[in-house]
Each structure stands twice: as structure tokens, then as C-alpha cells.
Structure 1
Amino acid sequence: MRVLLLSYGSRGDVEPMVGLATRLRALGAEVRVCAPPDFAELLDGAGFPLVPLGPSIREMATKAVTATKPAPPTSMRQRAAEMFAATYESVAAVAAAPEGCDAVVATGLIPAAAAARAVAEKLGIPYVFVAYFPTYLPSPHHPPLVWPGRPVPPDVTDNRVLWDLNAENIHELFGEAINTHRATVGLPPVDDVRDHVLTDHPWLAADPTLSPWPEPADLDVVQTGAWIRPDERPLPADLEAFLNAGALPVYVGFGSMPLRDAQDVTRAAIEAVRAQGRRVLLSRGWADLALTDDQADCFAVGEVNQQALFGRVAAVVHHGGAGTTTTAARAGAPQVVVPQMADQPYWAARVAELGIGAAHDGPTPTTESLTAALKTVLTPETRTRAAAVAGAIRTDGTTVAAKRLLDAAVSGAKPPVSA
């Protein structure tokens, strides 16, 4: 079986696909991965050649964070048209190669996933959309994410109405661009871009303990469990030396999130951690965080194996991406989530609800706000609760997903999650 995996998004969107690709390969499948050029090193390290998609996602994210106002709808529509066309061309070239492709699994930005589905339609092969958190999928139990520049009416609180507005907004932004290109490749137009991309039977690659899918719901969602990339890399020697030189440090990092006031955030975090008598382990990330002084109680790292690291820290202060939240939870590390955008407020709320950490109020931490949060999480009670939740988290998500795809190939039927 040959599977094409597509993700146009941040590292948190791509790394789970690497986990699934690794499991599919172990079960005998051939895998190609389409992702932004930022992740060539990640994919090369896992043994998968990158099929690059579009421009750098890091550059796009940095421009979005530093912009003084949201991009106008005309600009978003133009970028959507360019993204759909470029993604379709790249995916079609791989999927229609002589050896072909038996299924497409996609996530990430709507125009890119729409292009992946269009390729699957042209080839008559199954297409599966995967979300990494429940609130990306329509449900009467939660509202949709708010699109930048598209605030919902303050008097509307019914979730079904909010999801209807969400579908209208997405189609207004992307419908014309997507349908124009679909016509050029001989495909009929779609009248609801969101539901077309998500399908009636999406997958949810999130842990049921951390992130349950509430029922009853309108969609037939298959929750596979989180897709975790195997990571056997040792920690760097200098990091090992720092960890062994004193008490457990507090990890501070914002992953692939650019920050508008990165050094102010760094200063506040270091001061708050020091106020608790703790050492600081600072992850540079896409925000390029840098130490504020050269004192021995602080150490900065680049990209490292978080699975090996998080079991050796006192707490994790982070942005609340699905991957970081899951990795910290698996390690039993208490968390302070400082959400910046998208799904991150959801994960912050879940961490607080589960009692495994604290949700920071808003995206801009101060020394005082982080001090208060750290006082909550650096307690024996929080660590005990975090350890208990860690024992409940599943690690078989990629196996569940891979076997569903392979079983469908053997039976000659489409996966039951395909639309």
C-alpha cells in the first residue's frame, strides 16, 4: 500500500504525520510526506523524503504575528488560490506517479487540504482528514475557533448557529479560489468548503483522556488517540550536564510560535521561575528566545527530544500546542499553558480542568502572572495528579490509524472514515 500524508502547518501539524508515517512503514506501507520546506530536516531524520509545499510556514507565521492588523479578505483569497494551485500540483505529481497512491491523509490549512481532496477525487482513491483537537470539528458541545478579522456576533451563543456562521465565513474566504481551480481540473464546484474538507467522517488524533470527543455529535468521528513520533535521540551532552548539576529546572518554550515581544516574555519567565527558587531551561524555538544574563541557573537549548526531557523537569511553561501538551502530560510534568492562538486556549483549559497544571489568562505573560501560575503547578498535589493522568494516556494512536488504512486496502474497501 502507498499512502500520501499531507500537512501544511506548523511543526505541531507535521510531527504527528511523521509518527503515522513511521508506523505505516513498519507495517509494510510505502509513504510520502508533503509538508512545508521548514521541516526537511525533521523528515530526513526520520527517513522520509520531503515533498515541499508552498513557502515557509515560519515566515508566514512571523508576518502574521508582527502584522498590525489582520490581512484583508482579498489578500487571504489570493493566498488561498495560490496555495490550492501549488498544493494540487505537488500532490498530483506524487499521487499520479507510475507507482501511484492508494490513499491520502491530510490536515493543516483549509486550501491545502482541499487540494489534497481534489487529487484524491481525480484519482478515485480514499481521502481522510485528521484533526488534532476536538474544537476544530463541528459539534453542538463547543463553539468554533474565531477566524482573525471575523468576530462572531456577541449576542449569538448557540453552538450550532456559530458553526453555521463558521462554514459561511470559510466558504466566503476560500470558496471562489478553490472552485475556480477545481473547474480547471475537471471537478465540480463545492458549496460548503469546510464540510467538504473535513468530510462527514474525520479522524481525531488526540488522546481520549486529555481531549475527549463529546457525544452525541453530528459527525461520525473516529478518535484514534494521539499520533506520537518515536524519538530515540539522546539529549545533548551539555544539556545533560546542566540537568545533572542541580534541582529539576522549569522548562520554558513556545515551540513554533513566533512572539511579538519575545524578550519581554523571556524576561518575565526567567524572573518568575527564579522567584520560585528554580533553575530555568529555555527553549529558543521560532521566537528565538535568548537568555537575559549569563548566570549558571539558566540554560538555553535548541530543538531537542522533549520525550526524553520532560520527565526530568519540574514543570513545563509553553504555548499549548497539541504535541507539547501531550508530551508533557505523558511525562507527568505539571504545565503552565500560555495560549497564543488557534487550539491553544482549548489545551490550556483542558490542562486546568484535569488538574495537571494552570491556564494562563491571555497570551502575554508578566512576571506576576507567571509567578502565580507557577505557585499552583509547583506543588506536590499537582505533580501527583499529573503522574496519575500520565498513566492513563494511550500511546497506540498511530497503530490504530495505520491499521485502519491497511485493513481497508486489504479488503478493497475505502476506509470507513472516508467521505
Structure 2
Amino acid sequence: MRVLLVAYGSRGDVEPMVGFAVQLRALGAEVQMCAPPDFAELLEGVGIPLAPIGQPVRPVVKGVVTGTAPMPAEGLPQRAAALVATTYDAVAAVAEGFDAVVATGLLPAAAGARSVAEKLGILYSFVAYFPTYLPSPHHPPFERPGRPFPPEVTDNRALWELDFETMNVLFGTGLNTHRASIGLPPVDDFRGYVLTGRPWLATDPALSPWPEPADIDVVQTGAWFRPDERPLPADLVAFLEGGPVPVYVGFGSIPVRDSADVARAAIEAVRAHGRRVIVSGGWADLDLIDDQGDCLAVGEVNHHVLFRRVAAVVHHGGAGTTTTAARAGAPQVVVPQMADQPYWAGRVADLGIGAAHDGPTPTFESLVAALETALAPETAARAAALSGMVRTDGATAAAKLLFDAVLTAEPQQ
């Protein structure tokens, strides 16, 4: 079996697909990925061929988040249409002879991927990494740029109906224009076309349940992890063993505004609690603020190992980081920046395994207060208890599900 994985977005979109690819290969599948060129080194390291989609996304994301190159809402339909076409071209160039396409990330990119699958007559599946990407009476959609919801509409189903209309306006026209150019008929439900009637949800049921009853048939596989046996670097091990248990601070593949101020606030807040600090640069470009010996800067390291050895994890609230910290039993402080991150901040707070920061801009005072919660003994106890409930077989379950679907020739509708 040959499977093409499509993930257009940040590291958080690509990393779970790598875990999925590893399990597919263990079952004998041949796997290739279409993703932004930012992740060529990551994919090369695990032996997954990459067909790049467009230009690197890191500069674009940084410009939007930091405000240095904001994208006006009125240009969104044009950018979405361009992403449909760019993704279609990248996927179509390599998809011949594959048995299935599995997509995630930005919806216009996934729409381009599904059009390729439709053109070739092969199975297509969509995977979400958080529940609020999928329609449900139990939660609202998040607002699209330039399309705020009317304040008088509060019913979740009514909001999802508005979201249906918004997606058709913002994304549907561009998709249908492209489909006409390749000889495919128009679609009247952009969201349903991309998600399918039976999307997958790659989240852990204990950390992030899918509430039932719902309006669509969602298959919750469990979270997708990449097996990672890399040892920690020697300097990091020496730091961990050289004093009190530190706090980790990092924002993964999410930039932040005023990164120097964020780093200073975080380091000083951790110090105020008498803790040492591990600072991960990442796309936020966080760095040390002085040369004191209680701080260590790190790059790419094995979070599955490291998070078991820290007192708390201060992060942006991506699905992967939140789940990895929960699996490690590490208390969390989530400083959400965008997209799914407010959802994960809420889950951490609701479960009592950490603190949800109010808004994307941390200060010394706000982080001192959040760390007060995260470093409390009762928070550590709840985080440790939850860690034993987090499943580790999500990618394996999904790989078997895809094999069964291909072998029984039952493409999703």
C-alpha cells in the first residue's frame, strides 16, 4: 500500500503525521509527505520523502503573529484560492500510483489534496488534532479573519451554520474556480468536502474527549506520537543533574510578539519561584537574558524524555506540546497565541493539571501567578495521575484503520 500524507501548517501539523508514517511503514506501507519546505530536515531524518508545497511558512507565520507583515482579511479568499492551486499541483505531481491521501492543516490546502484524490479515484481522509476544528453542538467554531459572529447568536449549531456560510464565501469560490480548471464539478459545501462525513480526531480521550452525541461521525484514534529514542544532549543532562528541578519555557513553531520581553518575563517569573530555567528558542526566538548559571538555552531536543524531568512546562498550547507534557506528567502553564491553543489552555485548566494564561502576552506578574498554580503540589499530583491515562497507541490505531479502509475499498464520503 502507498500512502501520501499532506500537512500544510506549522511543526504541530507535521510532527503527528511523522508518527503516523512510522506506524504505516511498520505495517508495510510506502509513505511520502507533502508539506512546506521548512520541514525537509525533519523528514529526511526519519527517511520520509518530501514533496514540498510552496514557499517556507515560517516567515509568513512570523509576520502575521508579530504584526510585521499582517495579512488583511479582505485578501483571504485570494490567498486561499492560491493555496488550493499550489497544494493541488504539489500533490498531483507525486500522487499517481498511491492508494490513499490523508490530509490535515489549513483547510484550503486539504481541499486541494482532496481534489487530487477525487481526480485519481483514491481514498481520502482528513485528520484534526483538536475537537473544535470539527462541527459539534458542544462547542462553537472559532471566528475567521474579518468575519465576526453576530453577538446575539450564541447557539453552537447556529454558529456552525454561520461558519458553513463563511467557509463557502472565503474558500469555496476559489476551490470551485480551480476545480473547473481541472474538469471537476463544483462543491456546495466547502467544509463538508474537506472534512468528509467521517473525519478522524487524533486526540487523547482522557485529555481531549469528543463529546457525544454530535452531528457528524467522528473517529477518535488517540493522539499520534512519533517514537523518539534520542538521548538528551550531554550539556542538558549535566544541567538537569546540577541543581533543583528546572522549569521549561518554549513556544515551539509559534512566533510571539516582543520575544525578548517574553523571555525576560518568563525567566524572571521562574526565578521568583526559586527555580532554574530551560529556554527553548524555537520559532519564537526566545533566548537567555543574562549569563547566570541557573538558565540553559536548548534547541531541538526530545520532549518526551525532557518533560519527565522538569517541574513545569510553560508553552504556547499546541496540541503536540500539551499532549506530550500531559503524557510526561508535567504541570503546564499555557500561554495561547492562536487557533487551537485557547482550547488546550482551557483543557489544562479544567483538568487541574496547570494554568491557562489570560491572553497571548505574558508579563512577569501574570506568569508568577500562573506558575503559583502550576507548581502547587496538588497540580503535580493531578498531572501525574492523568499521565497514566494518556494513550500511546493512537498512530497505530489510525494506521490499522487506514489499512482496513483501503483493503475493503471503502473511501470516505
TM-score, structure 1 as length reference: 0.97
Paired residues for 1:12-23 under 5 Å: 12-23=12-23
Inter-partner Cα distance in structure 1 for 2:145 and 2:252: 21
Residue by residue over 1:87-125, the C-alpha shift from the partner in whole angstroms, topping out at 9 and shown as x without a partner, is 1111111111xxx01011001111110011001111111
CA contact (8 A) 2:202 2:220 kept: yes
Inter-partner Cα distance in structure 1 for 2:7 and 2:235: 33
Q: Secondary structure of the residue that 1:144 maps to in structure 2?
A: coil
Q: Secondary structure of the residue that 1:95 maps to in structure 2?
A: coil
Q: Residue 48 of structure 2 corresponds to which residue in structure 1?
A: 48
Q: Secondary structure of the residue that 2:392 maps to in structure 1?
A: coil
Q: 1:187 aligns with which of 179, 184, 189?
A: 184
Measure how far apart 1:71 and its partner are.
Answer: 2.8
Q: Residue 246 of structure 1 corresponds to which residue in structure 2?
A: 243
Residue by residue over 1:357-398, the C-alpha shift from the partner in whole angstroms, topping out at 9 and shown as x without a partner, is 111111111111110111111122111110100000001101
Paired residues for 1:305-324 under 5 Å: 305-324=302-321
Q: Residue 296 of structure 2 corresponds to which residue in structure 1?
A: 299
Residue by residue over 1:306-358, the C-alpha shift from the partner in whole angstroms, topping out at 9 and shown as x without a partner, is 01100000000000000000000000000000111110010001001111111
Residue by residue over 1:116-157, the C-alpha shift from the partner in whole angstroms, topping out at 9 and shown as x without a partner, is 100111111111010000000000000001222222111110
Q: Secondary structure of the residue that 1:266 maps to in structure 2?
A: helix
Residue by residue over 1:235-265, the C-alpha shift from the partner in whole angstroms, topping out at 9 and shown as x without a partner, is 1111111111111100001111111111111
Change (3 A) 1:215 1:329: same
Inter-partner Cα distance in structure 2 for 1:148 and 1:367: 30
Is structure 2 residue 83 aligned with structure 1 residue 87? Answer: no
Q: Secondary structure of the residue that 1:4 maps to in structure 2?
A: strand
Q: 1:399 aligns with which of 371, 392, 396?
A: 396
Q: Residue 72 of structure 1 corresponds to which residue in structure 2?
A: 72
Q: Residue 232 of structure 1 corresponds to which residue in structure 2?
A: 229
Inter-partner Cα distance in structure 2 for 1:88 and 1:120: 10
Paired residues for 1:202-221 under 5 Å: 202-221=199-218
Measure how far apart 1:74 and its partner are.
Answer: 4.2
Inter-partner Cα distance in structure 1 for 2:35 and 2:153: 37
Residue by residue over 1:29-66, the C-alpha shift from the partner in whole angstroms, topping out at 9 and shown as x without a partner, is 00011111010111011111111011111111011113
Residue by residue over 1:290-315, the C-alpha shift from the partner in whole angstroms, topping out at 9 and shown as x without a partner, is 11100000111111110110000000
Inter-partner Cα distance in structure 2 for 1:273 and 1:134: 32
Q: Secondary structure of the residue that 1:194 maps to in structure 2?
A: helix
Q: Secondary structure of the residue that 1:152 maps to in structure 2?
A: coil
Q: 1:198 aligns with which of 177, 195, 199?
A: 195
Inter-partner Cα distance in structure 1 for 2:267 and 2:147: 35
Q: Secondary structure of the residue that 1:130 maps to in structure 2?
A: strand
Inter-partner Cα distance in structure 2 for 1:316 and 1:63: 26
Inter-partner Cα distance in structure 2 for 1:261 and 1:164: 37
Is structure 2 residue 367 aligned with structure 1 residue 382? Answer: no
Paired residues for 1:73-222 under 5 Å: 73-96=73-96, 100-222=97-219
Measure how far apart 1:70 and its partner are.
Answer: 5.6
Inter-partner Cα distance in structure 2 for 1:63 and 1:362: 19
Q: Secondary structure of the residue that 2:283 maps to in structure 1?
A: coil
- What residue ranges of structure 2 are gaps of 5+ in the alignment? none
CA contact (8 A) 1:37 1:52 kept: yes
Q: Partner amino acid for 1:39?
A: F
Q: Secondary structure of the residue that 1:94 maps to in structure 2?
A: coil
Residue by residue over 1:11-33, the C-alpha shift from the partner in whole angstroms, topping out at 9 and shown as x without a partner, is 00000000000000011000011
Inter-partner Cα distance in structure 2 for 1:42 and 1:219: 34
Q: Partner amino acid for 1:391?
A: G
CA contact (8 A) 1:243 1:249 kept: yes
Q: Partner amino acid for 1:193?
A: F
Q: Secondary structure of the residue that 2:336 maps to in structure 1?
A: coil
Runs of 4+ residues over 6 Å off in structure 1? none
Measure how far apart 1:69 and its partner are.
Answer: 8.8
Change (3 A) 1:283 1:31: same
CA contact (8 A) 2:353 2:379 kept: yes
Measure how far apart 1:75 and its partner are.
Answer: 2.0
Inter-partner Cα distance in structure 2 for 1:66 and 1:329: 28
CA-based RMSD: 1.1
**Alignment coverage as a number of residue pairs:** 413
Inter-partner Cα distance in structure 2 for 1:354 and 1:414: 38
Measure how far apart 1:78 and its partner are.
Answer: 2.0
Q: Partner amino acid for 1:25?
A: R
Is structure 2 residue 269 aligned with structure 1 residue 272? Answer: yes
Change (3 A) 1:195 1:408: closer
- What residue ranges of structure 1 are gaps of 5+ in the alignment? none
TM-score, structure 2 as length reference: 0.98
Q: Secondary structure of the residue that 1:381 maps to in structure 2?
A: helix
CA contact (8 A) 1:70 1:148 kept: no
Q: Residue 33 of structure 2 corresponds to which residue in structure 1?
A: 33
Q: Partner amino acid for 1:160?
A: R
Inter-partner Cα distance in structure 1 for 2:186 and 2:133: 23
Inter-partner Cα distance in structure 2 for 1:29 and 1:336: 39
Residue by residue over 1:191-210, the C-alpha shift from the partner in whole angstroms, topping out at 9 and shown as x without a partner, is 12111111111000000001
Inter-partner Cα distance in structure 2 for 1:277 and 1:223: 41
Q: Partner amino acid for 1:64?
A: V
Inter-partner Cα distance in structure 1 for 2:9 and 2:107: 10
Change (3 A) 1:288 1:6: same
